[in-house]
Structure 1
Amino acid sequence: MPELRFDDGAAYEQVMGVWSRSVGEVFLDWLEPAQGLRWIDVGCGNGAFTELILARCAPSDVQGIDPSEGQLAFARTRPGARGAVFQIGDAMALPFEAESFDAAVMALVLVFVRIPSKGVAELARIVRPGGLVATYMWDMLGGGFPLDPILDEMYAMGLSPTRPPHMEVSTLAALQGLWSAAGLQQIEAREITVQRTFADFDEFWNVETKAPSAAPVIAAMPAADVAALMQRVRARLPTDADGLITCSARAHAISGRKPR
Structure 2
Amino acid sequence: MPEIRFDDGAAYEQMMGVWSRLAGEVFLDWLKPAQGLLWIDVGCGNGAFTELVLSRCAPAEVQGIDPSEGQLAFARMRPGARGAHFQQGDAMELPFATDSFDAAVMALVLVFVPDPAKGIAELVRVARPGGLVATYIWDMLDGGFPLDPILAEISAMGLSPTRPPRMEASRLDALSAFWIAAGLTQIETREIAVQRTFGDFEEFWQVETKAPSIAPMIAEMPLADVATLRQRVQARLPASADGRIAYRARAHAIKGCKPQPA
Q: In 2, Cα distance between the equivalents of 1:235 and 1:23?
A: 26
CA drift of 1:114 comes to 0.6
1:30-49 equivalences under 5 Å are 30-49=30-49
Q: Secondary structure at the match of 1:46?
A: coil
**Helix, strand or coil at the partner of 2:77:** coil
Distance across 2 between alignment mates of 1:109 and 1:196: 20
4+ residue runs of structure 1 moved beyond 3 angstroms?
none
Q: CA deviation at 1:238?
A: 3.0
1:22 and 2:22 matched: yes
Query: Is the CA contact (8 Å cut-off) linking 1:38 and 1:62 kept in structure 2?
Result: yes
For residues 245 and 61 of structure 1, the distance between their equivalents in structure 2, rounded to whole angstroms, comes to: 38
Residues 175-204 of structure 1, C-alpha deviations (whole Å, 9 max, x = no match)? 000000000000000000000000100000
Give, in whole Å, the separation in 1 of the partners of 2:31 and 2:53.
12
SS in 2 for 1:205: helix
1:14 deviates by 0.3
- 1:244 shift after superposition: 0.6
Q: Amino acid of the residue matched to residue 88 of structure 1? A: Q
Partner of 1:76: 76
CA distance in 2, matches of 1:257, 1:238: 43
Q: Residue 180 of structure 1 corresponds to which residue in structure 2?
A: 180
Give the 3-state SS of the residue equivalent to 2:158 in structure 1: coil
Determine the C-alpha separation between the residues in 2 that align with 1:89 and 1:38.
18
Q: Any idea what SS the aligned residue of 1:76 has?
A: helix
- Provide the TM-score with structure 1 as the length reference: 1.00
How far apart, CA to CA, are the structure 2 residues paired with 1:71 and 1:247? Answer: 26
- TM norm structure 2: 0.99
> How many residues of Structure 1 are paired with residues of Structure 2 in the alignment?
260
One-letter amino acid matched to 2:218: I
Aligned residue for 1:177, secondary structure, equals helix
> Any idea what SS the aligned residue of 2:119 has?
helix
- In structure 2, the partner of 1:161 is 161
For residue 109 of structure 1, what is the aligned residue in structure 2?
A: 109
Question: Where in structure 2 are there 5+ consecutive unaligned residues?
Answer: none
Shift of the alpha carbon at 1:247? 1.1
Q: Specify the alignment match of 2:121 in structure 1.
A: 121
Query: Deviation at 1:130?
Result: 0.3
Looking at structure 2, the residues matched to 43 and 158 of structure 1 have their Cα atoms a distance apart, in angstroms, of 32
- Aligned twin of 1:100: 100
Q: Corresponding residue for 2:256?
A: 256
Contact 1:134 1:254 in 2 (8 A): yes
Take 1:19 and 1:37, find their aligned partners in 2: how far apart are those partners? Answer: 25
CA-based RMSD: 0.4
Q: Which position in structure 2 is the counterpart of 1:11?
A: 11
Opposite residue 202 of structure 1, the aligned amino acid is: E
**Structure 1 SS opposite 2:238:** coil
One-letter amino acid matched to 1:180: I
Q: Which amino acid aligns with 1:46?
A: N
